[in-house]
Amino acid sequence: MVLRRCRKLLGDDQTARDAMHDVFVQVLTRADELDDRAPSSLLFRIATNVCLNRIRSRKRRPEDGDPSLLVEIAEATDPAARSAARAALDTLFRHEPDDTALIAILHLHDEMTLEEVAAEVGMSVSGVRKRLYKLRTKLHSLEVSP
C-alpha cells in the first residue's frame, strides 16, 4: 500500500522506493507519538507527507521536472486556471501550513469528502473547508494578478 501510494504521487519507481523507506523510518523513529489504531490511515498520511516533501524538494531542483500532482490539484480546483496554475503553485503553498497541501491532495486528488479529510487529518470539517476555501481564493487571486 505504501509503495503504491508513493508511486502514484511521485511517478518514478526508484524514487517511490526511497520514499517508502523514509516512511517506515519515520514510523519507527516516532513510534511513541503515533496513534496506531488505524495503521493503514497512519501509513497513508505519512506516505503522503513524505512524498509532498520530496515534491517540494523537486521544485527547488527544476531539473527533476514538474510536480504533476500539484498541477493536477490546481486543475481540479478550477479548469480555467490551468495555464496560470504551474507558475502559481509555488506561491500558492508558500505561506500555507504544511498540512494544507495534504488536505488539498486528499480532497482534490484522492476524492475524499470533507468529512473523510477531517477524520484523516484530525481537524474539524469547518477547518478543512476553510483551508480549501482559502486555497481556492488564493489561487483565483493569483490567477488574476498581473
Partner 1 sequence: MTSLPDWLVERAALDELPAGSRARLDAADPRELADRIAALRDDNARELAAYPPGPAVAQIRAEAGKQRTARSRRMRAVVLGVATSAAAVLVVAHFARPHAAPVAMHVDDGDGDGVRVKGRARLTAFRQVGDQAEQLAPDALCQAGDVIQLRYNAGGKRYGMIASLDGAGVVTLHYPATEDAPPEATKLAPQTTALPSSYALDDAPRFERFFFLTANEPIDLQQSLQALHALAQHSDSADAALELPPGVRQWSLRLRKPDTRHEDRHD
The footprint of partner 1 on residues 16-45 (CB under 8 A) is 21, 24-25, 28-29, 38-41, 44
Residue 82 touching partner 1 (CB under 8 A): no
Nearest CB to partner 1, comparing residues 71 and 123: 123
User: Site map for partner 1, 93-132, x if CB under 8 A?
Assistant: -xx--------------xxxx-xx-xxx---xxxx-xx--
Position among 102, 138, 139, 143 found at the interface with partner 1 (CB under 8 A): 138
Q: Which of 60, 83, 56, 49 is nearest to 70 (CA)?
A: 56
Q: Three-state SS across 77-88?
A: HCHHHHHHHHHH
Shortest spacing between CB 63 and partner 1, in angstroms: 26
User: CA 92: distance to chain centroid?
Assistant: 13
Residue keyed to cell 478550477: 78
Q: How far is the CB of 71 from partner 1 (least distance, A)?
A: 19
d(CA 74, CA 14): 26
CB of 140 to partner 1, least distance (A): 11
Q: What share of the chain is helix, strand, coil (3-state, %, to 5)?
A: 80, 0, 20
